[in-house]
Amino acid sequence: MSGSESPGAPQRRNWEIALAPLLHAPAEALWRRHCDTLNATLFSRWLPAGRCERLLKTDLFDEAMGDGLYPLLAARARSITGVDIAGSVLAAAHARHPALNIVEADVRALPFAANSFDVVVSNSTLDHFAERADIAVALRALERVLRPGGRLLLTLDNLANPAVAVRNALPFALLQRLRLVDYPIGATLGPRRLRRLLGEVGFAVVESTTLLHCPRAFAVARARRLQARATDEAHGRFLRGLARWERLSRWPTDVVTGHYLAFCARKP
């Protein structure tokens, strides 16, 4: 690292390299539609009624790849600021959604004043750090910029899911070679530890659930094949089939089958 290089520069470069081939990958469009629908369905219920003034969205990869959560958030907030560590992701997200305020920043060191936002939406952002300690650092940063009474809507990989636990234990090079992951994965938590950590940081948990109950690796591979060859009608059948898997979120075993933990928390 050069003397003038910021501490986060190597990580920023790594993400730029990993994400560059994905940003304009049409093979991912069908899978992104499914993920966007799941997130939007849940967050539409958890967002405050009416329109809040200021909302912060962490990680703009979904918005760079497609609609992401932007249509929902634009209907529920007067001003939306999005942060990402990768400049290419910011540029792609802003090209798709010109009204989005973009800021290049590490979520662990947000360049905003305390109590700046009414809502923070952080979907699958905090599960990309090398160490679990970084999750706590990021949560404290989010708590700082959230106003008292504000809401945090959070998802991250569920370590209680055996598939996630095995994936996280395998070398990234092997996972990438098998096309099981396209970008670096990070440390994450199970539901009990995440709930406890949110309380330690200062949040009060309002509600929690799980998301993405289909067999992810098989579903992603199937989505890629259908995206390349199938008709819109076949795409619709596939998406409806994936949606039916979400019934497992109501079962007592949901923390084993859900790929993501989802928490709605409030800053007292």
Q: What is the pLDDT of residue 228?
A: 83
With beta carbons less than 8 A apart as the criterion, state whether 74 and 99 touch. yes
Strands of 204-211's sheet in order across:
101-104, 77-84, 52-58, 117-123, 146-157, 260-266, 204-211
The average pLDDT across 123-149 equals 96
The string of pLDDT tens digits covering residues 162-190 is: 999 988 887 777 766 766 676 777 899 99
d(CA 45, CA 218): 29
Q: What is the DSSP letter of 48?
A: P
The average pLDDT across 117-130 equals 95
Q: What SS3 class is residue 66?
A: coil
Q: What is the pLDDT of residue 208?
A: 98
The string of pLDDT tens digits covering residues 215-230 is: 998 998 899 899 888 8
Q: What is the DSSP letter of 158?
A: B
Q: Token pair of 35, please?
A: 């993920």
> Which of 4-13, 136-145, 212-221 shows the lowest per-residue confidence on average (mean pLDDT)?
4-13
Within 10 angstroms of residue 206's Cβ, the number of other Cβ atoms is 13
**What proportion of the chain, given as a percentage, has pLDDT over 70?**
87
> Which of 64-73, 109-118, 141-150 shows the lowest per-residue confidence on average (mean pLDDT)?
64-73
Domains of the chain, CATH where assigned:
9-266 (3.40.50.150)
Query: Of 170 and 238, which is predicted with more confidence?
Result: 238
The string of pLDDT tens digits covering residues 22-76 is: 666 666 789 989 999 999 999 999 999 999 999 999 999 899 888 999 999 999 9
Q: Which of 170, 151, 161, 167 lies closest to 189 in space, CA to CA?
A: 161
- Does 154 score more than 50 pLDDT? yes
Q: Token pair of 138, please?
A: 């990021």
List of E strands, the chain: 52-58, 77-84, 101-104, 117-123, 146-157, 204-211, 260-266
Q: What is the DSSP letter of 85?
A: S
pTM, 2 dp: 0.90
With beta carbons less than 8 A apart as the criterion, state whether 184 and 22 touch. no
Q: What is the pLDDT of residue 21?
A: 64
Q: What is the pLDDT of residue 168?
A: 86
Within 10 angstroms of residue 165's Cβ, the number of other Cβ atoms is 14
d(CA 72, CA 115): 23
- Does 132 score more than 80 pLDDT? yes
Q: What is the pLDDT of residue 185?
A: 79
The average pLDDT across 206-218 equals 95
List of E strands, 106-223: 117-123, 146-157, 204-211
Mean pLDDT of the chain: 90
Q: Which of 91, 57, 62 lies closest to 77 in space, CA to CA?
A: 57
Q: Token pair of 143, please?
A: 């708590």
Q: What is the pLDDT of residue 18?
A: 62
